[in-house]
Structure 1
Amino acid sequence: MGWRRADTIRALLTLRIYWHCTRISHMQLSRRDTLCGPYAENFNEIASGFWQATAIFLAVGIMILCAVAFVSVFTMCVQSIMKKSIFNVCGLLQGIAGLFLILGLILYPAGWGCQKAISYCGPYASAYKLGDCSLGWAFYTAIGGTILTFICAVFSAQAEIATSSDKVQEEIEEGKNLICLL
């Protein structure tokens, strides 16, 4: 019975970059049927070099997106940075951030072959193969966020096209600051 219970627990495990969760199947009626906790307390304890690289790439991508959000607040007051349209600059930064996010998402499954993942997910776990584990919702959310990052970069290019028309330039010359065209 002990072997079966451990096997059941292993099959219901999600493993993250520095965190793992175990769903205990015999506690279905309980409120707390999922036990989560970190296996790494700091960056150096992250189980795989691939996961350390993932953490770095995702952090850099998110920092770039935060910078874009900060810069976009000032788009009503500043229309260009070093003679480049603010829309082009933000779109370019969003594209670069998206590339960092993609690199992180590609490297994350490569880390499943580390010893920690094999001990949690069973002997069939290897790079790009989960073994007995499953992906958590954060991975799918990160994919969705990356897709939205590229969609926003496309919108930035469209905003540049919309605001560089002759009609918009005439309204800017008339003294209008906030101009929205569809």
Structure 2
Amino acid sequence: MAKSGYHHGDLRATILAAAAEQIATDGVDAISLRGLARRAGVSHAAPAHHFGDRAGLITALAIEGFDLLAAELERAGPDLREVAVAYIRFALNHPGHFDVMFRRDLLRADDSRLTEARTRSGAALRGGVAELQADRPRPHQRATQLAAWSLVHGFAALWREGALANSALVDSDDPETLARAMIATVQFD
């Protein structure tokens, strides 16, 4: 591709957006730095300059995802139901990010930025449960937080994978409506 028209205000963001889009449509195995360079119309070395290698790129995408998720959860406020719906909404609106965020086999687990972003989003998710269980012992709170996370993450994955399509368990095509109904049936106290 000719570079005469090359201009990127933020090549790093362009490559991350292209990676998220490609992962959402083709899966994480389709990602390569060379392929992303072609999509962005830059030299094959340009992505490596920003990310080092494929693991660096996927880690950067996961960090961006955890930051976006934390912001979404924080906007939802302290109500557990709204936090749960925000989590599911994020998974559906950012599938390329969601697909790599929890794949430790693909990430640089020792990246401090990843740890910080993961911690922030986790705190935002746990906040809704903590509000309900301030008087409970810490082990009970942790178990309930794990249950809440598993519930919303599992629902998001099932919805995204199409497992709930035509299911007798589903009476709506709106995942947020279903999520609210599902969360309302669970006692977190």
- Provide TM-score, normalisation by structure 1: 0.30
Structure with the higher strand share, 1 or 2: 1
Greater CA radius of gyration, 1 or 2? Answer: 1
- Provide TM-score, normalisation by structure 2: 0.29
Structure with the higher helix share, 1 or 2: 2
